[in-house]
Structure 1
Amino acid sequence: VIERGVDDWRVIHIVKTDMVIHTAKTEMMRLVVETEFVGKIADAFDKVTGDI
């Protein structure tokens, strides 16, 4: 039988919260990188086609 104290649950909660924050930051960075990459492709396409 494993007994857990209040502090054990608090630590687990903090770790889970940190993981959620890390995942959210990672997803935001991925979105920024994808947006910049697509923007560069669009800019290159506009230069080739002469569109503004």
Structure 2
Amino acid sequence: MKKRSKDCAICNTAFDTMYRIQHKNPKTWVFVCKTCLVKVKKDNPLYTYGGTWKR
């Protein structure tokens, strides 16, 4: 089975587990890695979680 990955919208590094979030205006859905997720969600009133994508 082929291993799939996506690039993080913030750090542009490929990961096989990503988090779908909205974190700034305009509110568009992006995929981010766990490290970037922790950074953008802290004290961010625009943060919305939209699910986890796994390979």
Give TM-score, length-normalised by structure 2: 0.24
Give TM-score, length-normalised by structure 1: 0.25
Higher helix share: 1
Higher relative contact order (CA 8 A, sep 6+): 2
- The structure with the largest alpha-carbon Rg is 1
